Amino acid sequence: MEMNSANVEAVVKQVLESMLDKKIPSQSAPAASQAIPKTAHVAMLTSLGHYDIKEFPIPEVGDGDILVKVEGCGICGTDAHEFKKDPFGLIPVALGHEGTGEIVKMGKNVKVDSAGKPLKVGDKVVTCMIFKDDPEIEMFDLNKKNVGGADVYGLLPDDDIHLNGWFSDYIFIREGSSVFNVSDLDLDSRILIEPCAVLVHAVERAKTTGILRFNSRVVVQGCGPIGLICIAVLRTLGVENIVAVDGNPQRLEFAKKMGADKSVNFMEYKGIEALSGAVKDAFGGHLADFAFQCTGSPAAHSNIYKFIRNGGGLCELGFFINGGDATINPHFDLCSKEINLVGSWVYTLRDYATTFDFLKRAQAIGLPMKELITHRFPLEEINEAHETNLAQKGLKIAIVNK
């Protein structure tokens, strides 16, 4: 058909008429809100080692609130600690902070996300910290304040709203929370945002030493999800001369897939001299310029100095919680080697936003990020999911809703 201006007009008219016939809902999307149930299901940790799926009414969405239908949420090391020991004294608690989902309803005052990107019903979002009780923090100041110590959905005390964690089918995001529109990332990537932000932050901390460069020799010790993502972040920065250290052959295999050049299995070496010799050999006779310590083992902290050259750097990020004391020899390990040491913990809002770009870059250069999610469980099987996580049978375990 020849498309002159007259029949373009006719086609447009036809399309518009067919739309009117079907009474396509207006922007307020009554169709979506009609689909919202009256109650939500929340996995509450009600005692040590046990979740109950509880049903709560979905509260009225206020002018600054957002109701999100949860699609999935990763299980974090922090959740494992809560599940086992409740170190934060939160029970009963709605856990799950590595979650993502779709906005199904939002108040009239909600227009943009924490980075200034427009928000609408249907957008996919993640949350970061909650600003309530801290008027010092501005929504748009992404550089300010590490999230550690701030309130986070999935680690809040229970209240009369109850829909406070991402291990649920709906979560209620209150005014004053940081929310990011991540509709341009797929579900697996969105589930990985929170742990990836930890590594984006650690690498930013490492960069402050001025040692980490394009051609640096880098050791990553510990190849759980944190160490593996560390390798991925380094790869997206162009760092390729990476040696992974772990005691598990499967994890070391994955580290190589993620882009580590060489791997060293510490189980194969007796004593720190032999082990540091193996690391040196892996770098062709050199010690590392920089090392990332990604395990929660104090002995691993003590050992890692032996892998680093004089004047090199170390980023310690393995101790999210108190894991006990580590012994070093300050003369040999720190002073005489002039080691540049940085600690890293959690992330800032800026790192969170940077992580969205990291995930796109990782995908673009073909890193197998999605393979980090080794197990997916429905919400009803959250106890099994945690048991699988504790048994260290996989890497990242996720709850994925239908």
Residue 317 falls in which region: left (phi positive, over 0), alpha (psi -120 to 50) or beta: alpha
The amino acid present at 187, given as its one-letter code, is L
Output the smallest distance, CB 230 to Zn ion, in A: 15
Output the smallest distance, CB 279 to Zn ion, in A: 29
Residue closer to Zn ion by CB (options 117, 376) is 376
Give the separation between CA 385 and CA 233, rounded to whole angstroms.
Answer: 27
Residue closer to Zn ion by CB (options 113, 194) is 194
Output the smallest distance, CB 95 to Zn ion, in A: 10
Output the smallest distance, CB 79 to Zn ion, in A: 7
Give the count of residues interacting with Zn ion (CB under 5 A): 2
Residue closer to Zn ion by CB (options 78, 340) is 78
Residue closer to Zn ion by CB (options 75, 362) is 75
Residue closer to Zn ion by CB (options 88, 332) is 88
One character per residue 33-72, x = contact with Zn ion (rule: CB under 5 A): ----------------------------------------
Output the smallest distance, CB 105 to Zn ion, in A: 27
Output the smallest distance, CB 135 to Zn ion, in A: 26
Q: 61 in helix, strand or coil?
A: coil
Beta carbons within 8 Å of 194's beta carbon, 6+ residues apart? 74, 76, 97, 98, 126
Edge-to-edge strand list for the sheet holding 241-246 = 262-265, 241-246, 217-221, 288-293, 308-316, 340-343
Residue closer to Zn ion by CB (options 43, 76) is 76
Q: In 151-192, which ranges are continuous DSSP H helix?
A: 187-191
Place of tokens 């809703």: 401
Residue closer to Zn ion by CB (options 166, 266) is 166
If one counts every other C-beta atom within 10 angstroms of the C-beta of residue 164, the result is 26
One character per residue 228-257, x = contact with Zn ion (rule: CB under 5 A): ------------------------------
Output the smallest distance, CB 328 to Zn ion, in A: 28
Beta carbons within 8 Å of 87's beta carbon, 6+ residues apart? 81, 321
Output the smallest distance, CB 396 to Zn ion, in A: 10
Closest CA relative to residue 203, chosen from 226, 180, 181: 226
Cross-strand bridge partners of residue 74: 98, 398
156-215 binders of Zn ion (CB under 5 A): 194
Give the separation between CA 291 and CA 304, rounded to whole angstroms.
Answer: 7
Residue nearest to Zn ion (CB): 76
Residue closer to Zn ion by CB (options 33, 388) is 388
Give the separation between CA 357 and CA 363, rounded to whole angstroms.
Answer: 10
One character per residue 305-324, x = contact with Zn ion (rule: CB under 5 A): --------------------
The amino acid present at 119, given as its one-letter code, is L
Give the separation between CA 382 and CA 399, rounded to whole angstroms.
Answer: 7
70-89 binders of Zn ion (CB under 5 A): 76
Report the interface residues with Zn ion, using CB under 5 A: 76, 194
